[in-house]
């Protein structure tokens, strides 16, 4: 084998390694859109990226407060003020996009204005056994009870809305 053939072979080998590395990175390390939800996970690579992206989002999430009541109060103030982007940021990271879309649609249908007063009614707290999850129950005075679930972000230790 001559030197030229060896150089070409080495170049091809390096090229294959680089391409394989790039494909591996693309499959496992590119960011995953967590707002797409778990149902969009189709492969092992998607599962890994979803989990990694979710942890990163929770680690960077700073919109919330030290108590569930403070988070709930800030959420309802943002909603009342029409700041739906901020209101959606009080939710867990994977729900923020969904909630922003919901609030924008609800505003068009005048639903928010009709419902926001309910958020200011007297409420009680039902805590979970771990203390990291709570449900705020709002009684509307007409026999209806509305529940708002909150969870504690284990990375930043702030409270987040998890469901309406």
Residues 6 or more apart whose CB falls under 8 angstroms from that of 137 comprise 123, 124, 125, 126, 145, 146, 147
Q: Mind listing the pLDDT tens digit for each residue in 94-135?
A: 999 999 998 998 887 777 777 777 676 666 667 666 778 888
SS3 of 125, please?
strand
Model confidence pLDDT, tens digit, residues 57-69: 999 999 999 999 8
Helices (H) and strands (E) in the chain, counts: 6, 4
Query: What mean pLDDT do residues 7-32 have?
Result: 64
pTM of the entire predicted model: 0.73
Distance separating alpha carbons of residues 105 and 96, to the nearest angstrom: 14
User: Any residues with CB less than 8 A from the CB of 84 and at least 6 apart, and which?
Assistant: 78, 100, 103, 104, 107
Predicted confidence at residue 132, as pLDDT, reads 87
Torsion of CA 86, 89, 90, 95, to 10 degrees: 140
Asked if pLDDT for residue 162 goes beyond 80, the answer is: yes
3-state class of 158 per DSSP? coil
Distance CA 140, CA 23 (A): 55
Is the pLDDT reported for residue 19 higher than 80?
no
Residues near 27 by beta carbon (within 8 Å), at least 6 away in sequence:
43, 45
C-beta separation of 36 from 132 below 8 A: no
Which residues on neighbouring strands pair with residue 18, listed in sequence order?
none
Domain boundaries of the chain, sorted by first residue: 3-59, 63-163
């Amino acid at each position: 084998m001559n030197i030229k053939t060896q150089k070409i072979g080495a170049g091809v080998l390096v090229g294959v390694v680089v391409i394989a590395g790039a494909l591996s990175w693309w499959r496992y390390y590119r960011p995953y859109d967590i707002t797409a939800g778990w149902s969009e996970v189709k492969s092992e690579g998607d599962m890994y990226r979803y989990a990694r992206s979710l942890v990163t989002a929770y680690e960077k999430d700073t919109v919330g407060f030290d108590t569930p009541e403070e988070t709930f109060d800030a959420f309802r103030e943002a909603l009342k003020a029409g700041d739906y982007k901020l209101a959606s940021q009080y939710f867990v990271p994977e729900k923020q996009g969904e909630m922003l879309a919901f609030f924008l649609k609800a505003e068009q249908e005048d639903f928010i204005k009709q419902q926001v007063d309910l958020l200011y009614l007297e409420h009680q707290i039902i805590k979970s056994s771990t203390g990291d999850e709570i449900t705020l129950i709002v009684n509307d005075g007409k026999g209806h009870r509305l529940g708002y679930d909150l969870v504690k972000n284990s990375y930043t230790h702030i409270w987040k809305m998890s469901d309406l």
